[in-house]
Structure 1
Amino acid sequence: MPESTADIFTALAHPTRRQILQDLKDGEKAAGDIAARFTSSGPTISRHLSVLKVAGLVTERRDANRILYSLVGDRLALSVGEFLSSVCPEQMLLRSIRPHPESTEPTKPHSV
């Protein structure tokens, strides 16, 4: 498993980090606002944010004396999707023959 994929799964292993990602889905948040949602100490939340940053799932920017965090685009979906495709290649085929929501006819499978 590539290092970055390992970092992503490490980041996802803790429920606090998963909650932080869910909280950031609506947009950028200050570190203090993120920490205020949890009973953990500020330094603990800071370490969680650091793990998410190392995994490439969040970015930070400074605005005066505040640190603002935001999600990194589709990084999570692409990384997890790539991993799932490598361990479940049959899912790619199933998606290609499954009917699309706007169609009642299944699509023809792609030749491999």
Structure 2
Amino acid sequence: MNSTFKALSDPTRRQILDLLKEKDLTAGEISDHFQMSKPSISQHLKILKHAELIQDEKNGQYIIYSLNTTVFQDLLNWVFHFTKPSHQDKKEDKYK
């Protein structure tokens, strides 16, 4: 999960995820939205892929990137875990 948080900590990577939320894109299509070099975009994609936030699929001469929603679901489940009352909280409520 550390690689997930590291990947999400960067605003450029979050913007890439926002783009991929709309539709699957090639690296070139992603780089068109940024004022940075293609190798820099490639590095961001590598970090997102390592964190399993995105996946890629070769389609002819292109690689198509898409969101891996399974990781987002796992992350949300983990976050929502903190909104549920713990076993200790239930005991304390019982004695009020």
Same fold (TM over 0.5): yes
Bigger helix fraction: 2
What residue is the counterpart of 1:12 in the other structure?
8
Give me the whole-angstrom Cα distance separating, in 2, the residues matched to 1:45 and 1:15.
Answer: 12
Q: In angstroms, what is the RMSD of aligned CA positions?
A: 1.4
Q: Percent identity?
A: 35
Find the partner of 2:35 among 25, 29, 39: 39
TM-score scaled by length of structure 1 = 0.70
Higher RCO by CA contacts (8 Å cutoff, separation 6 or greater): 2
Question: Residue 32 of structure 1: SS of its match in structure 2?
Answer: helix
Size of the alignment, in residue pairs?
85
What stretches of structure 2 of length at least 5 have no aligned partner? 86-96
Question: Residue 62 of structure 1: SS of its match in structure 2?
Answer: strand
TM-score scaled by length of structure 2 = 0.81
Give 4+ residue runs of structure 1 displaced > 4 Å after superposition: none
Amino acid at match of 1:25: K
What stretches of structure 1 of length at least 5 have no aligned partner? 94-112
Task: Give CA deviations for 1:55-81 in whole Å, capped at 9, x if unaligned.
Answer: 000001111111110001231242243
Amino acid at match of 2:6: T
- Does residue 55 (structure 1) correspond to residue 47 (structure 2)? The answer is no
Shift of 1:33: 0.3
